[in-house]
DNA sequence: GCCGGAATTTGATCCGGATCAATCGAGGCC
DNA sequence: GGCCTCGATTGATCCGGATCAAATTCCGGC
């Protein structure tokens, strides 16, 4: 069942400046909106995409958050990305038409779905949409490559600082309080995302707290000196 | 100056099964070929793409090899990828229209160039080309994400083994000897690519040699027991 | 072939983060 | 509220790979 309080089309969606229609004309947005399906609300832990499944659509987080994750052949979980409202997931499926990782809700989640067939047909006639999909893929690629060099060249605290600052920046773009927020993911998820152990994440957070750069109360984080955090990356 | 011995169009190129035309129809390949420009031979060390430069084309390695690399803010070099014949470079520029890393020839290099404007115009009318560009981006994304989890979850020897096995596989696809080849990149480049130091790369190679899995003579590598190398990844 | 500089190998030591282990705290459920 | 379980913090130790430091090999130029 659809909640009646939510917007009915991309054009009036609060996320339109951030989401797929970001660079589309009014006309293109209207046409795209006709192809978008709205999913019902999912519970925390629900699996929206399954690794190995045929790619049949793009998924966009509408509210809540999710993680893109999978398991290595030794059974260890890894977390490729966290997805906030307005972010598109499942792009890696373009490689061979199958998804390679799961998309799992971290909290109650609403989402939109764009069937692949309709997207491809729309890309034929909407040059703006073509460019936008290429832009999204390019951004994800750039992000993944940047993260890869970060994992191999930046130490534990630097990576955690980078994570917090990046999260803050993404919240800000969504008009959510960027300096005081709740982490929807566990320390373990953060660790798996940054290539660390949960103990190291916890200790690094502790170090930031001792330095007076953050306040930490369970999953609630307040950034007191974001500049100090960002400075960890410079070196 | 163009060598007279090289093919003149994508359709007759030895790389056509691997390169951009891989999944295009004969007609689409012919049309694409009309948009492709052939660059002159570059010397080792030449820079084909510069970080920060406006993205004005896609580049494809025709012969030789290259590295996609850049420098972190602390001056350390990183290597995102090595590019073999038939591989497309510069895709990350789709993110915002600018390249974020350099493309540097590792040995004398020939390349093709597809101007972005022409590519976009062709994508309007050639659905196969649209799909192919999306596929390429999806593959690069998948590869970058896979590498990222590998850097954070696999130890030094496992990563080096993975690198050698992957290289072998890519050479095989190009009908080049997959078990006995010359590394066009330095130990330092390999290290920067795998998130290691050159000493660790050298020591790991030494360990493989001692185990009788490879023969190493300077930059020449012979894989004696590729299965043993691949097995390092399983665990 | 010989020479010089760079790349590579090999050796010794050190350290950041993993691992193992115990305690503490928070939120859900009755 | 009180219990119970899972998540998070804190502590102690260990180890893989980084770092520092030669020694050796490779390769291009003469």
DSSP string, chain A: ---TTS-SSGGG-TTTTTSGGGG--HHHHHHHHTT-EEPPPBPTT-EEE-TTSB--EEEEEEES-EEEEEE-TTS-EEEEEEE-TT-EE-GGGGTTSB--SEEEESSSBEEEEEEHHHHHHHHHH-HHHHHHHHHHHHHHHHHHHHHHHHHHHS-HHHHHHHHHHHHHHHHHHTTS-SSEEE--S-HHHHHHHHTS-HHHHHHHHHHHHHTTSEEEETTEEEES-HHHHHHHHH-
Note the CA–C1' distance, B232 to C10, in angstroms: 24
Of chain A, the end-to-end C-alpha distance in Å amounts to: 51
**Strand C-proximal protein residues, Cβ less than 7 Å:** A 155-157, 195-197, 199-200, 217-218; B 186-188, 198-199, 201-203, 205-206, 216, 218-219
**Per-residue pLDDT averaged across B54-77, rounded?**
93
Assigned CATH topology for domain B155-234: Arc Repressor Mutant, subunit A (1.10.10)
Q: Where in chain B is the domain with CATH 2.60.120.10?
A: 10-151
User: Which pLDDT tens digit goes with each residue over A15-36?
Assistant: 888 888 888 888 999 999 999 9
* Chain B residue at shortest CA distance from A137: B137
Helix (H, G, I), strand (E, B), or coil: what is residue B89?
strand
Partner residue facing A144 (CB), from B74, B96, B141: B141
Q: What is the pLDDT of residue A216?
A: 92
What's the CA gap between A115 and A136, in Å, rounded?
17
Q: How many residues belong to chain B? A: 235
Provide the edge-to-edge strand list for the sheet that holds B180-182: B180-182, B220-223, B214-217
In Å, how far are B15, B19, B28, B29, B70 from B12, measured between CA atoms?
Answer: 9, 12, 14, 10, 34
pLDDT at A2 over 50: no
Q: What is the pLDDT of residue B235?
A: 58
Q: Which long-range contacts (CB under 8 A, 24 or more apart) does A70-79 make?
A: A70/A100, A70/A101, A70/A102, A70/B149, A72/B149, A72/B153, A73/B233, A73/B234, A74/B234, A74/B235, A76/B153, A77/A192, A78/A192, A78/B149, A78/B152, A78/B153, A79/A185, A79/A189, A79/A192, A79/A193
User: Which pLDDT tens digit goes with each residue over A70-121?
Assistant: 999 888 999 999 999 999 999 999 999 999 999 999 999 999 999 999 999 9
Sign of CA dihedral A197, A200, A202, A204: negative
Do B135 and A94 make contact, defined as CB atoms within 8 angstroms?
Answer: yes
- The three-point CA angle B152-A185-B138 to 5° equals 55
Q: What is the pLDDT of residue B142?
A: 96
Q: What is the pLDDT of residue A3?
A: 44
Q: What is the pLDDT of residue A113?
A: 94
Q: Where in chain A is the domain with CATH 1.10.10.10?
A: 154-234
Output the average pLDDT for chain B.
91
Residues of B in contact with A131 (CB under 8 A): 120
- Domain A154-234 matching CATH 1.10.10.10: the answer reads yes
Do B95 and A139 make contact, defined as CB atoms within 8 angstroms?
Answer: yes
Alpha helices in chain B (DSSP H): 26-33, 116-125, 127-153, 156-173, 187-194, 198-210, 226-234
**Per-residue pLDDT averaged across B129-149, rounded?**
95
Output the average pLDDT for chain A.
91
What's the CA gap between A34 and A32, in Å, rounded?
5
Q: Where in chain A is the domain with CATH 2.60.120.10?
A: 10-140
The B-side interface with A (CB below 8 A) comprises: 72-74, 76, 78, 80, 91-96, 100-101, 120, 123-124, 127, 130-131, 133-135, 137-142, 144-149, 151-153, 194-196, 233-235
Contact present, B81 and B68 (Cβ < 8 Å): yes
Partner residue facing B127 (CB), from A101, A124, A134: A124
Residues of A in contact with B78 (CB under 8 A): 149, 152-153
Strand D contact at CB of residue B54, distance < 7 A: no
pLDDT grade, residue B169 (50/70/90)? very high
- Domain B10-151 matching CATH 2.60.120.10: the answer reads yes
Contact present, B98 and B66 (Cβ < 8 Å): no
User: Which pLDDT tens digit goes with each residue over B4-47?
Assistant: 445 568 878 888 788 888 888 889 898 898 889 988 889 899 99
Note the CA–C1' distance, A199 to D13, in angstroms: 15
Which nucleotide's C1' atom has the smallest distance to the CA of B198? C8
Strand D contact at CB of residue B199, distance < 7 A: yes
Contact present, B220 and B181 (Cβ < 8 Å): yes
What phi-psi label fits residue B102: left (phi over 0), alpha (psi between -120 and 50 degrees) or beta? beta
pLDDT at B1 over 50: no
Chain D positions under 7 Å from a protein CB?
Answer: 7-12, 16-21, 25-27
Residue to mutate among A54, A145, A192, with most B CBs inside 10 A, is A145
pLDDT grade, residue A165 (50/70/90)? very high
Do A95 and B139 make contact, defined as CB atoms within 8 angstroms?
Answer: yes
Do A91 and B148 make contact, defined as CB atoms within 8 angstroms?
Answer: no
Do A138 and B142 make contact, defined as CB atoms within 8 angstroms?
Answer: no
pLDDT grade, residue A7 (50/70/90)? low
Could you tell me how many helices (H) and strands (E) chain B has, helices first? 7, 11
Residues of A in contact with B80 (CB under 8 A): 145, 148-149
User: Which pLDDT tens digit goes with each residue over A168-204?
Assistant: 999 999 999 999 999 999 999 999 999 999 999 999 9
pLDDT at A235 over 80: no
**Per-residue pLDDT averaged across B44-67, rounded?**
94
Q: Where in chain B is the domain with CATH 1.10.10.10?
A: 155-234
Burial class of residue A24 in the structure, from the number of CB atoms within 10 Å of its CB (0-12 exposed, 13-18 middle, 19+ buried): buried
CATH of domain A10-140: 2.60.120.10
């Amino acid at each position: 069942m659809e909640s009646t309080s939510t917007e009915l089309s991309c054009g009036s969606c609060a996320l339109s400046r951030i989401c797929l229609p970001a660079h589309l004309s009014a006309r293109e947005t209207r046409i795209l909106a006709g192809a978008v399906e709205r999913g019902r609300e999912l519970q925390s832990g629900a699996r929206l995409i399954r690794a190995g499944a045929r790619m049949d659509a793009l998924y966009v987080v509408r509210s809540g958050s999710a993680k893109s994750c999978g398991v290595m052949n030794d059974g260890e979980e890894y977390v490729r990305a966290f997805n906030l409202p307005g972010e598109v997931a499942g792009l890696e499926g373009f490689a061979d038409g199958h998804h390679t990782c799961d998309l799992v809700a971290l909290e109650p989640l609403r989402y939109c779905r764009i069937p692949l067939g309709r997207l491809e047909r729309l890309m034929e006639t909407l040059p703006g949409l073509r460019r936008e999909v290429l832009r999204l893929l390019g951004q994800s690629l750039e992000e993944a490559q940047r993260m890869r060099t970060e994992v191999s060249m930046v130490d534990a605290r630097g990576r955690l600082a980078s994570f917090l600052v990046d999260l803050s920046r993404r919240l800000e773009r969504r008009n959510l309080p960027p300096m005081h927020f709740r982490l929807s993911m566990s320390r373990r998820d953060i660790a798996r995302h940054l290539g660390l152990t949960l103990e190291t994440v916890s200790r690094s957070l502790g170090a930031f707290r001792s330095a007076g750069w953050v306040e930490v109360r369970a999953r609630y984080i307040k950034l007191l000196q974001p500049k100090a955090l960002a400075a960890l990356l410079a070196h």
